[in-house]
């Protein structure tokens, strides 16, 4: 018998639902720094609890958050309105220049924007 201490599928689904419920994609009144200030304590807790022994199991949730940030950028900036690739490239550049902004960017989960 083997055991992998990873996050369950049910917990992953609940975390994505929490991200959806926070509705960042429609909060164009917030800046990226505001979103990070609101979301980092939650992310830090999830990564400390669920990602302790098997951090790569958290990638689906972190990828979902990155895609939510792309959707936010597409709504926030008119020039990115119908340009998902450009929005993801913008966020990738921001993640390279300011990796301290989000907890998962500090840990290297940067490349899954598109």
- pLDDT tens, 21-30? 999 999 999 9
Question: Is 86 part of any domain?
Answer: yes
Q: At 39, which helix (H) or strand (E)?
A: helix 32-49
Based on the structure, what is the number of domains in the chain? 1
Does 112 fall in a domain? no
d(CA 27, CA 33): 13
Flag whether 64 is in a domain: yes
Average pLDDT for 16-22: 94
Is residue 57 in some structural domain?
Answer: yes
Q: How many CB atoms lie within 10 A of CB 36?
A: 18
Q: Which domain holds residue 33?
A: 9-106
Residue 111 lies in a domain: no
CA distance 48 to 80: 34
Note the pTM of the prediction, 2 decimals: 0.90
- pLDDT tens-digit series, residues 50-94: 988 888 889 999 999 999 999 999 999 999 999 999 999 999 999
Q: What is the DSSP letter of 62?
A: H
């Amino acid at each position: 018998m083997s055991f992998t201490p990873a996050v369950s599928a049910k917990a992953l689904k609940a975390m994505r639902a929490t991200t959806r419920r926070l509705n960042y994609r429609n909060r164009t009144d917030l800046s990226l720094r505001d979103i990070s200030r609101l979301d980092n304590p939650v992310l830090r807790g999830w990564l400390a609890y669920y990602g302790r022994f098997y951090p790569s199991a958290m990638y689906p949730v972190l990828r979902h958050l990155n895609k939510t940030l792309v959707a936010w950028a597409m709504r926030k900036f008119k020039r990115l309105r119908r340009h998902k690739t450009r929005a993801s490239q913008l966020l990738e550049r921001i993640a390279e220049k300011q990796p301290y902004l989000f907890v998962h960017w500090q840990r290297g989960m940067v490349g899954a924007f598109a």
